[in-house]
Chains A and B, each alone.
Chain A
């Protein structure tokens, strides 16, 4: 009983994590400018990766894999937002126009070919 419950929980966490990562990449493909894209990617892939690592933790058990799983989760929680912020900062310093700002349509037209 307990074993099958753990299996169900692990499977649900794995499917949920993969689905969240897929949704964030769909958003990454469809958003109009760099800042929206970095937002979609940073939020979604952090959450999805955390869910996948929690699934791994539930399957392997605390005594076998506790510290390394927590270290991987903490590392990704720290670094995915940092890299997303870093790239958005670079884009802002190089004056890429955001969606709705003046010059965005011209830039998008220039980028499209």
Chain B
């Protein structure tokens, strides 16, 4: 696989990472930011896959597995923390106005 054929997918993935960074900066809620971080991790794993395509090597497959599992476990940890932690002020105000659904 030549480098020239892989320039286009690399550029596409880098543009996708920039879009995820825009959502990290802009995202109105914490959930958008966590999801954007998850998307960044998936794009990074895709970039590693493209690089191991370009270099014809299998040594980065473990890196892909580790990076994707780190992204998933950090998302789960964030969700667990948000479940246990004190909710943000806007959510508390809305909870006081409406009775609980569950």
56-113 of chain A: CB within 8 A of chain B:
56, 59-60, 64-65, 68-69, 71-72, 75-76, 79-80, 82-84, 86-88, 90-91, 93-96, 108, 110-112
CB of A103 to closest CB in B, whole Å: 8
User: Do A59 and B56 touch across chains, with their CB atoms under 8 A apart?
Assistant: yes
CB of B66 to closest CB in A, whole Å: 10
User: Do B58 and A64 touch across chains, with their CB atoms under 8 A apart?
Assistant: yes
If the complex has contacts A28-B36, A37-B35, A83-B75, are A10 and B53 also in contact, measured as CB distance less than 8 A? yes
A86 CA / B82 CA spacing, docked (Å) = 11
**Known A65-B58, A93-B83; further 10 A-B contacts with Cβ < 8 A:** A7-B5, A28-B19, A28-B23, A28-B35, A80-B38, A87-B31, A87-B75, A87-B79, A108-B28, A112-B28
A-B contact pairs, 13 of them (CB 8 A): A11-B5, A14-B5, A21-B43, A41-B38, A52-B46, A55-B49, A71-B65, A72-B61, A80-B38, A93-B83, A95-B94, A96-B29, A111-B29
